């Protein structure tokens, strides 16, 4: 077949026509940004999303359809009435969950999410362990409750407040409590609900949200959870980031588009504030930043007592002791301890929660439920000596927090870790205290070598933790005298060079710590054997039981060996000999 015949063949002409049609459609979509509308006509997207897509084709059309009500249509009612008013509106601590009737279904998803927070009114009395954060929010609460008094003095409400902190420490609870105290509408949204694959829908949802909030006849709170989902620093990437950029830009426009006198307060929550775009967190948008850390001892005690007050509890529970055993746990984890204890008590058909259930609940939350995996007798003995090494060193050495208990019972969440930790509430530690932590961390490995002649894989997590601590001592705190390695640098190349230069110092610290651990355990071999053999039979020992088995004084008193900046083994032996003498 000749070239002319091929070019004139009906099949070839049909293929050319099809290609031309595809190219024409592609050009049309590129020029007019109507890809989502075309997909909607083809049935490629859900009707609700297609409706939103047609609305974002032009700014004027969007302004006329989103956030504005047709003439004659009354403001939609919300499911709660504010006390003392005739209009419908959210009550104290309730969530504004009503959706404007003309709002597209996919945009309305922003508001329907709010219904998951519906519940009894929340006030500051329902928040424990966050006294400093509550104090900062009290003046905001007073402004929301009586804005005229502040306006008469020329005071303006901050446009935005950023709540920063680890997950589970009460950021959302604080926002709800603020709304409950002030008795104003509360809009809760997750920032991830603004992000869509169709360009423009996220911006449309943000406009709808702010139009609804500003349309209230009274102050309102808009709470955006996980703000980093849309507020990350812009990197100037390609088309794949267009939707994120459009959504963030629209949020910036809305933050600039209303005055403080409008009474709309924006609360944002994130656990990664350092990753947020500078344009989002500058003054004038988020004027305040409140840091919410994990609760300290006093905070944990207050949280435990708050949740325990709502359950039938035995008076024998020692809450100060429980608080001391839960260092590093978040508020949500502490609440989970009380709930787990309730479930355990119900399983035992008890009418009150006792100290036994609380103790088991702490172990469950800290390390997971008991594992059903059977342990071979030889492995059980090795684990017992490993844990006894940690425990005995923590009893003997000063500057190390005493563990609440030592156990060889495997936990489902981490079968290679003991059920206690070396946490400390203090944020400032000396070199001596850090070295003591290193010695205790390597105590399990030292006990294995001293007893069985070789280490096991049981030390994997201990070595990781010890190496991280030693690296911080060398690089971040210059505790080996190498000031040129001090400080933090996020540059990958510089970071790699720093790590390579710091490795000898890290290795030296770890080696010295392990030698000190072996020396102390060798001088207390009879105590190590006594604690380990008791663990083999009873599987769990409290601090008081460990001290009694090891023949040591009351653990509440001063401990017997002071390990300064790695005393030579001979000095350590002499110290132990003097104590025994």
Catalytic residue numbers read 387
Beta-carbon contacts of residue 243 (< 8 Å; ≥ 6 apart): 195, 196, 197, 198, 199, 200, 201, 202
Three-state DSSP string of 282-344: CCCCCCEEEEECCCCHHHHHHHHHHHHCCCCECCCCCHHHHHHHCCCCCHHHHHHHHHHHHHH
Tell me the torsion sign for CA atoms 502, 505, 510, 511: positive
CB atoms within 10 A of CB 553: 11
**DSSP SS3 for 25:** helix
Under 8 Å between Cβ of 145 and 126: no
* CA–CA dist 129, 296 (Å, integer): 8
Distance CA 508, CA 480 (A): 10
- Give the integer Cα–Cα distance in Å for 55 and 100: 16
The answer to whether 522 touches 449, Cβ cutoff 8 Å, is no
Radius of gyration of the chain (CA): 31
Q: Report the C-alpha gap between 96 and 83 in whole angstroms.
A: 15
| Residue pointed to by tokens 């206690």 | 420
> Which of helix, strand or coil describes residue 162?
strand
Tokens of 156: 């303006």
Copy the structure tokens of residue 53. Answer: 């897509």
Q: How far is CA 489 from CA 96, 137, 175, in A?
A: 45, 35, 35
Give the pairing of strands 220-225 and 540-542. unpaired
Q: Which of 435, 399, 404 is nearest to 418 (CA)?
A: 404
Coil, strand or helix at 543: helix
């Amino acid at each position: 077949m000749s070239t002319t015949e091929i070019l004139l063949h009906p099949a070839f002409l049909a293929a050319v026509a099809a290609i031309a049609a595809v190219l024409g459609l592609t050009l049309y979509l590129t020029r007019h940004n109507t890809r989502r509308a075309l997909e909607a006509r083809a049935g490629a997207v859900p009707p609700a999303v297609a409706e939103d897509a047609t609305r974002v084709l032009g700014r004027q059309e969007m302004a006329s359809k989103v956030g504005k009500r047709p003439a004659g249509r009354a403001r939609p009612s919300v499911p709660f009435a504010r006390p003392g008013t005739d209009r419908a509106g959210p009550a104290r601590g309730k969530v504004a969950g009503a959706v404007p009737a003309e709002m597209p279904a996919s945009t309305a998803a922003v508001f329907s999410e709010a219904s998951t927070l519906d519940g009894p009114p929340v006030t500051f009395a329902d928040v424990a362990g966050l006294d400093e954060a509550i104090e900062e929010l009290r003046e905001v609460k007073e402004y929301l409750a009586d804005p005229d008094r502040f306006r008469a003095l020329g005071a303006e409400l901050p446009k935005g407040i950023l709540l920063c902190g680890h997950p589970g420490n009460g950021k959302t609870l604080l926002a709800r409590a603020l709304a409950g105290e002030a008795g104003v509408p509360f809009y809760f949204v997750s920032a991830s609900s603004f992000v869509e694959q169709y360009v423009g829908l996220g911006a449309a949802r943000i406009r709808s949200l702010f139009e609804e909030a500003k349309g209230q006849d009274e102050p309102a709170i808009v709470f955006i959870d996980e703000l980093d989902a849309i507020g990350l620093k812009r990197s100037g990437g390609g088309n794949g980031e267009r939707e994120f950029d459009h959504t963030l830009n629209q949020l910036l426009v809305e933050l600039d588009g209303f005055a403080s006198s409008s009474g709309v307060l924006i609360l944002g929550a994130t656990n990664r504030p350092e990753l947020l775009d500078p344009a989002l967190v500058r003054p004038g948008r988020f004027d305040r930043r409140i840091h919410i850390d994990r609760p300290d001892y006093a905070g944990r005690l207050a949280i435990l007592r708050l949740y325990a007050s709502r359950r039938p509890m035995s008076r024998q529970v020692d809450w100060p002791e429980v608080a001391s055993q839960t260092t590093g746990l978040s508020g949500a984890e502490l609440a989970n301890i009380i709930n787990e204890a309730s479930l355990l008590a119900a399983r035992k058909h008890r009418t009150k929660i006792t100290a036994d259930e609380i103790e088991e609940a702490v172990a469950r939350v800290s390390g997971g439920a008991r594992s059903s995996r059977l342990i071979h007798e030889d492995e059980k003995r090795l684990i017992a000596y490993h844990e006894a090494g940690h425990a005995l060193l923590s009893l003997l050495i000063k500057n190390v927090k005493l563990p609440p208990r030592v156990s060889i019972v495997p936990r489902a969440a981490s079968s290679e870790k003991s059920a206690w930790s070396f946490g400390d509430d203090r944020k400032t530690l000396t070199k001596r205290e850090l070295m003591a932590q290193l010695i205790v961390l390597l105590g399990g490995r030292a006990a294995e070598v001293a007893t069985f002649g070789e280490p096991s894989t049981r030390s994997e997590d201990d070595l990781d933790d010890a190496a991280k601590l030693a690296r911080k001592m060398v690089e971040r705190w210059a505790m080996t005298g190498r000031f040129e390695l001090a400080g933090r640098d996020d540059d990958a190349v510089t970071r790699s060079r720093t790590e390579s230069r710091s490795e000898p110092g890290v290795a030296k610290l770890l080696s010295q710590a392990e030698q000190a651990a072996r020396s102390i355990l060798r001088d207390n071999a009879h105590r190590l054997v006594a604690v380990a053999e008791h663990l083999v039979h009873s599987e769990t020992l409290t601090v008081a039981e460990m001290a009694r088995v090891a023949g040591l004084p009351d653990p509440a008193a001063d401990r017997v060996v002071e390990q300064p900046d790695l005393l030579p083994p001979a000095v350590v032996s002499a110290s132990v000999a003097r104590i025994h003498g």
